[in-house]
Amino acid sequence: MMRQYELVDRVRKYNPHANEDLLNRAYVYAMKAHGAQLRASGDLYFSHPLEVAAILTDMKVDDATIVAAVLHDTIEDTASTKDEIDEVFGSEIGSLVDGLTKLKKLDLVSKQAEQAENFRKLLLAVADDVRVLLVKLADRLHNMRTLQFVPPEKRARVAQETLDIYAPLAGRMGMQWMRGELENLAFRTLNPEAAATIEARLASLRTKNEKLIAGIEGELSQALSKNGIEAQARGREKSPYSIFRKMEQKSIAFEQLSDIFGFRVVVPSTQDCYRVLGIVHTKWPTVPGRFKDYISTPKQNDYRSIHTTVVGPGMQRVELQIRSADMQDIAENGIAAHALYKDDVSGDAARLTRESLAYQWLKRTVELLAEGDSPEEFLEHTKLEMFHDQVFCFTPKGRLIALPSGATPIDFAYAVHTQLGNGAVGVKINGRIAPLLSELHNGDEVDIARAEGQSPPAAWESLVVTGKARAAIRRATREASRLQYAGLGRQIVARAFERAGKALSEDKLKGALPRLARQNVEDMLAGVGRGEIFSGDVVRAVHPEFREERKPPLKSAKGESGWFGLKKAASLVFRFPGASPGAASSAIPIRGLGGDLPVRFAPNGGAVPGDRIVGILNPGEGITIYPIQSPALMAFEDQPERWLDVRWDLEHGREELFPVQIVVNALNEPGALGAIATVIGEAGANISHVEFVTKSPDFRDIILDIQVADLKHLTSILAQLKARSVVSRVERVNG
């Protein structure tokens, strides 16, 4: 275990002005707080925070971060409190330690929810001070280094969590050395056989290619030295886990990998990077399509470098990374390399760091938290953001937008602005009209066309690749759905009060909210629209003395039941005392599928304007419209509270088509289907589905789902079909 003076010495090696008293007080405080607590390995628990601090000294962080590392488990695992930490060490260190403390006494239904909520809390703390993340990643790294002492079932869970969350997060922050070690440690735990095999193959390949690598290093250094460039040229090896991941993604064998070994050239300045590029490309032929300039367009984690591949010495394919010393520091240490976290930070350095791409990504990610997503959704979106490589696209005005590979114009639109994404209706890519689901490529210019009042289709959520787009689409569809259900609920409640002969007002509804367990009127109305609250319950909540008389709609006043009773009784839905006998105007107006109500039509039958119709309220789905003659209505005979009075209310000149199903018994001969389809098409109807049922060698039933304008249109089509010689019989299906 590291001693007190050793911790101070490690910090003073890179920071001669370190606050020795602060470091000593933190050491003593944590040692006393943890006392005789032991780790799973049997070591004193206090050794763990010291090792975390040691990892951070290698990253050369400031005194406050080191102290927070030493104290990071005191609030969670000892009797210490945040107030006590604030008092002894100051509020800055207290906030860092509190940001690292897991949620306690949280009633969460699953381990996944707990994991998601802790990650959510961590990123909220990181948004205030990214040093929290540095300590958390160092904490996870030491836990992974000692994972062999943990029980096997927990070991696998921690390793998977590391692979899913913490390693990609380290990569997003530009800390590549830490990402690589976390990935490899998790890989060895989750797939020990594959890890051992790849490591053995790497060792063999390393020995075999040792002279070749040294020769390429020497020839590179010699070529650059001749041109007056001071450079370090070194071979580098791909990590076992990155090899395994590439083999899985591309479904290739180890022998087929061409980039196991690469070379890195580090030079003093940015100008030297481009000089090296010119020399290398002049001396050796390049491999087409293998050049990337991340200096002019840095990655979102601030990574800057030039990547190129040439056919080098001995006709070997050589992958090169060319970067300056500063770029190398940021490539390895990421956000920890920025001046903001050093003791000698200046105002300009602090400003530049806050504007770093990695920090901007963190801030954008945390913005999702304010949008009301559940912890699990937030975790899902964040994983999406962390796992992808990037493509760089441009707006028509030249603004650069970085997106994950595989991104679509929809992702692009949401990356520019949420409102642009919500209103997107079309796109031009490089000046040509393209589908909104096209895959974008590096250098594409993307011009989004939008329409006011547009709402994104719910299906988009599963088609986009960025967390921001998914979150925004989910919110927009939820809000649109809520507004639809609230609109439906308002109409249902208004008609319920009208039939009951009671006055309805917003104030009365507000007064009844506690009885209905809703926070506001809109939520209550949406609950009615979803079928979670019955309209009669709302009337009783406002007027407790009210008693409704619900009559099963399948029985008429004369006691008739079944099919004849159904037809006569469909208009008697929800008859309340005092209601006007023929109040047809109280029926809910149906304006089609594209209206402002959550409406759908009955499956296997549908309904068209001109039909007498009945509405059935389906919880969570809105209204299903049935024609009065549909036998499917028998299933709701004993649920009168779900029946709604509805009526057609279509705008004049509207061209919307409505679903209906027909069965055509036709000759089983060539051209029969074509003749039927021709009649339907020439009549201006649309066929959406066709199914065949063969009942005899000569005839077969053709079941067609078609879309027509109204009952008159349907009747005309049926008459025309009956007139065709190939048709024996045609009838409408009343599902």
Confidence at residue 549, expressed as pLDDT on a 0 to 100 scale? 58
How many Cβ atoms are within 10 Å of 110's Cβ, its own excluded?
9
**pLDDT < 50 stretches in the chain:** 103-110, 339-354, 369-370, 372, 384, 387, 552-584
**Helices marked H in 209-291:** 210-226, 240-250, 270-283
Which tens digit of pLDDT belongs to each residue from 277-286?
A: 999 999 889 8
Q: Which residue has the tokens 């007190």?
A: 4
- What are 404's two structure tokens? 């994950």
Which tens digit of pLDDT belongs to each residue from 164-215?
A: 878 888 887 778 889 999 999 999 999 999 999 999 998 888 888 888 888 8
Confidence at residue 364, expressed as pLDDT on a 0 to 100 scale? 61
Asked if 401 and 415 touch (Cβ cutoff 8 Å), the reply is: yes
Asked if 377 and 467 touch (Cβ cutoff 8 Å), the reply is: no
The SS3 assignment for 394 reads strand
Confidence at residue 33, expressed as pLDDT on a 0 to 100 scale? 92
Confidence at residue 163, expressed as pLDDT on a 0 to 100 scale? 86
- What are 254's two structure tokens? 């180890």
Measured between alpha carbons, how far is 210 from 233 in angstroms, rounded to an integer? 15
Measured between alpha carbons, how far is 281 from 185 in angstroms, rounded to an integer? 38
Residues carrying an active site annotation: 76-77
Q: Which residue has the tokens 């976290």?
A: 341
Measured between alpha carbons, how far is 464 from 455 in angstroms, rounded to an integer? 15
Asked if 693 and 700 touch (Cβ cutoff 8 Å), the reply is: yes
| 564: CB partners within 8 A, 6+ apart | none
* C-alpha distance across the termini of the chain, in Å: 77
DSSP 561: -
pTM: 0.57
Asked if 9 and 54 touch (Cβ cutoff 8 Å), the reply is: no
How many Cβ atoms are within 10 Å of 411's Cβ, its own excluded?
27
Confidence at residue 566, expressed as pLDDT on a 0 to 100 scale? 47
Asked if 513 and 524 touch (Cβ cutoff 8 Å), the reply is: yes
Domains of the chain: 4-190 (1.10.3210.10), 196-337 (3.30.460.10), 478-648 (no CATH), 658-733 (3.30.70.260)
The SS3 assignment for 521 reads helix
Measured between alpha carbons, how far is 142 from 83 in angstroms, rounded to an integer? 27
